[in-house]
């Protein structure tokens, strides 16, 4: 298994975990014991990082997935009786996702082995092979 496949599997798994914890009743929501904004920022940051690592050449798609997840999960909370959608929560999720995508993009640009790009060939050299 290569890096992109593992990152893709983990990204979609984390997406499902975030969906469960966002849409489940408030008493069933898992938490790590710290501020909820730190949890939201970290979860969406990791989601953005994993999606950016899984799909390094598709930055607009990655941004759309993370943005749609933040918007969709926040809007779907309005359907639940004990959950609520807030602009503040949406902003934290979006900031975390944006930071994660940016970090993933930076890693893919700096370390080409994580990106799926063919090696560059020097066209000006006299090497025949």
CA torsion through residues 85, 61, 112, 109, sign: negative
CA distance 82 to 11: 27
Q: Tell me if 8 is assigned to some domain.
A: yes
CA distance 65 to 16: 13
Counted domains in the chain: 1
Q: Tell me if 13 is assigned to some domain.
A: yes
Q: Tell me if 129 is assigned to some domain.
A: no
Task: Give the domain range for residue 30.
Answer: 3-110
The token pair at 85 is 């959608």
Q: Tell me if 64 is assigned to some domain.
A: yes
The predicted model scores a pTM of: 0.75
Q: Tell me if 115 is assigned to some domain.
A: no
Q: What pLDDT score was predicted for residue 54?
A: 85
Q: Which of 42, 50, 89, 49 is nearest to 70 (CA)?
A: 89
Q: Tell me if 117 is assigned to some domain.
A: no
Q: Write 62-67 long-range contacts (CB < 8 A, 24+).
A: 62/101, 62/104, 63/101, 66/97, 66/98, 66/100, 66/101, 67/94, 67/97
pLDDT means per 10 residues, the chain with 129 residues, are: 81 88 72 74 89 86 89 80 72 88 84 60 61
């Amino acid at each position: 298994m290569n890096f992109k496949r593992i990152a893709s599997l983990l990204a979609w798994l984390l997406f499902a975990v975030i969906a469960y914890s966002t849409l489940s009743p408030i008493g069933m929501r898992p938490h790590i014991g710290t501020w909820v904004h730190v949890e939201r920022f970290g979860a969406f940051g990791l989601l953005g990082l994993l999606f950016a690592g899984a799909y390094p050449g598709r930055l607009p798609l990655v941004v759309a997935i993370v943005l749609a997840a933040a918007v969709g999960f926040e809007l779907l909370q309005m359907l639940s009786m004990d959950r609520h959608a807030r602009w503040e929560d949406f902003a934290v999720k979006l900031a975390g996702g944006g930071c994660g995508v940016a970090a993933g993009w930076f890693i893919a640009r700096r370390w080409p082995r994580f990106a799926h790009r063919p090696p560059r060939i020097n066209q000006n050299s006299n090497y025949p092979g």
